[in-house]
Structure 1
């Protein structure tokens, strides 16, 4: 960056110095080579760090700082090296009063946006007072905070509608509909449905919490998977028939046993079959199949495949990548009408992860949807 451009950056951020290359009277401080001890110290710091000398130039930085800043900043004025206004302000103020400060630096790690907490602390050396800048990656903390905020907002939104309906009907039953038996029965039926919806939401939230809590502990108990699939399929057969669907089940001749948590694998089947019945209406049938054990490249070991397929409306491709997100719905209004909470596939994903398996989703409008769960056979 030229001297004119450096002056322009200063003016933009409220700095009215005539020449950023002549902002300090100590012109006898060399840019490089005079601070070997400082350079060795900065290089030994594990996190990205750099030292800005009394002449406001970068006199030392470690490899982490070079990677973060995206260029070789040694010897450059700190405005050229850092560029971001918030960081420049902190360095400027710390030079003025010698007080440490903290701010944020926005960068990238690979192709992912990252947030770094930057601490600017005065460092008094024999050559004068400089500034030590240290960077701490707080991306995970920021993402966790955003996830918590999104989660609270989503839960609040999901609970607001049934609660509002319940309060409205209670008020109506205490007033105008108090002596109307037909209206009272109709309102009580709706209230029962809305209360059931809230109950399902709470149950799914608790289930998701339990699954996430134990996700790192891989199940090892033997599970008779073929028997479990047959049992769950028989339970849902009447529901499929009531929806006008034929439930077809295809199991291998030999029993299939895998290491797994029976309750959680049952949850996988429950969620996938419920979705297939709810959203596969008009498709004629729902197919459930179990195959394996066979060599699975995705697992680098033998695995079994559990496939649930419907022949309904299907899902557009741009929705598929987000289907396992919490509260994500392709059609929010329809999902609520059929009693969906928006958490079923998120629960499936976490259970599959706990079993060290894979979940694959294939769908296209008008061609139905196929959900494939691949689980290790041993």
Structure 2
């Protein structure tokens, strides 16, 4: 296999024109055949020898002095075909392997010449020598590839794939002209290689859609209590101006709606603050068992109102983890409060903290289990979405904003933790969070509440 030159060599000097003797030597077999044909004509067909001799002289002059354009063009075409059969050099391969996105290198015929390591992971089974269409089947991409081959100009396209899930892709297709090729008069629009870089935009598009949905949902959630407040104020200024009973009833509803707006705004601000420091890992060491105990005590009045008992099972010794105390209180408070509100039919909420050791993975797992009606399985994958509610009416009756589990998910992401949800209809639900144990558990100082 021919390797392209990666140096900036100059184009080869043009060769001098071939001499008449050289051209006669190249045409020797043609002249020899003409000689035998002339002798046969003289012997068998009584052709005058002078005419045969004149024919041979003219043929020699033509072969020796007139250039053969067809042979010259054939040499150039053969050289260009040889260029098309080149394979990428080591320098190009190393560069492409360093890129984090799938990259394909193909020739002008659409044959794959090289795929980087990321492309081999993303597109299983792809290998050099196969047509590019075996791996990339998007019609718009293949059409753009043909245009780049024909024009020699780079293009950028995007497309959507619906199967197996909706994904967005963007491709940058660019021609590559290798320096120091053997053909000095290479025709434009015939690049040596075509580079195809694929970028997955699915996550970016989903985040963009999530932001749009968040603004729309937040506006909707705020618009409803605002409309209620406006209507009640107009009623109090008008028909209910002199009706004390109606005033008391409307003012009570207005207070509830104002409280709903306040909770929603507090959760939105809390979520925004968490997102701002999502990539900053906490450095403080806290006692996770003390945080759970503190939260359970704080929620005991709510449990008493709902006639639910909180049963806490914690280790006797401090459980030290790296974390932000206020954020971890918010996590435990959200989970235990949800269990009290939506699982109070079971009369018990179990909160347990246990150590989990698997190979080199050392974590502490907190589980919050209620014994209520449970969560239907079709809702489990979407529980942590913003403003998502299993039962809208029940959530609003319990003064929920639909942001609690979204806040929990973002806090756990910052703490390098994870959330698991298990539920069975009629048997309640269990929310489990896993947080990594502190690496210096024996010597770290525990952060205690002021």
Moved more, 266-275 or 179-188: 179-188
Match of 1:187 among 227, 230, 250: 250
1:49 deviates by: 4.0
Normalised TM-score (structure 1): 0.76
Report 1:76-225 matches (<5 A): 83-88=137-142, 90=144, 100-106=154-160, 114-120=167-173, 126-130=186-190, 132=194, 134-139=196-201, 140-225=203-288
Tell me the CA shift for residue 364 of structure 1.
1.2
Where does residue 327 of structure 1 map in the other structure? 387
Could you say what secondary structure the match of 1:219 adopts? coil
Q: What SS does the corresponding residue of 1:168 show, helix, strand or coil?
A: helix
Q: How does 1:1-378 map to 2 (within 5 A)?
A: 33-35=82-84, 39-40=88-89, 45=96, 46=99, 47-50=102-105, 53=108, 57-58=109-110, 61-64=113-116, 83-88=137-142, 90=144, 100-106=154-160, 114-120=167-173, 126-130=186-190, 132=194, 134-139=196-201, 140-291=203-354, 294-297=355-358, 300-301=361-362, 303-378=363-438
Secondary structure, in 3 states, of the residue corresponding to 1:142?
helix
Once the two structures are TM-superposed, the CA of residue 114 in structure 1 deviates from its matched residue by 4.3
C-alpha separation between the residues in 1 aligned to 2:135 and 2:286? 59
Aligned to 2:390, the other structure's residue is in SS state coil
SS in 1 for 2:346: coil
Give the count of matched residue pairs.
Answer: 344
Q: Distance in 1 between matches of 2:265 and 2:251?
A: 21
Please say if residues 418 and 433 of structure 2, whose CA atoms lie closer than 8 Å, have aligned partners that are also in contact.
yes
Q: Is the 8 A contact 2:150 2:190 kept in 1?
A: no
How far apart are 1:223 and its partner, in Å?
Answer: 1.7
C-alpha distance in structure 2 between counterparts of 1:236 and 1:229, whole Å:
11
Question: For residues 93 and 59 of structure 1, do their structure 2 counterparts lie closer, same or farther at Cα, with a shift above 3 Å needed?
Answer: closer
1:68-99 deviations in Å (ceiling 9; x for gaps): 597668685x8888653433554566678776
Q: 1:73 touches 1:81 (CA, 8 Å); kept in 2?
A: no
Question: Quick check: which has more Rg, 1 or 2?
Answer: 2
Deviation of 1:278 after TM superposition, in Å, equals 0.9
Deviations 1:294-348 (Å, cap 9, x if unpaired)?
Answer: 34229712x3332322221111223223222222211122112211111111222
Aligned-residue offset at 1:136: 3.8
Indicate if the aligned counterparts of 1:299 and 1:357 stay in contact, CA closer than 8 A: no
Q: Measure the CA separation in 1 of the matches of 2:136 and 2:311.
A: 63
Alpha-carbon distance in structure 2 between the residues aligned to 1:104 and 1:73? 24
For residues 366 and 75 of structure 1, do their structure 2 counterparts lie closer, same or farther at Cα, with a shift above 3 Å needed? closer
Shift of 1:236: 1.1
Is the Cα contact below 8 Å between 1:299 and 1:376 reproduced in 2? Answer: no
TM-score by length of 2: 0.65
Structure 1 CA distance for aligned equivalents of residues 230 and 111 of structure 2: 67
CA RMSD of aligned residues (A): 3.6
Query: Separation in 1 of the partners of 2:360 and 2:285?
Result: 19
1:290 Cα deviation from its structure 2 partner:
3.1
Q: Show structure 1 runs of 5+ residues with no match.
A: 1-27
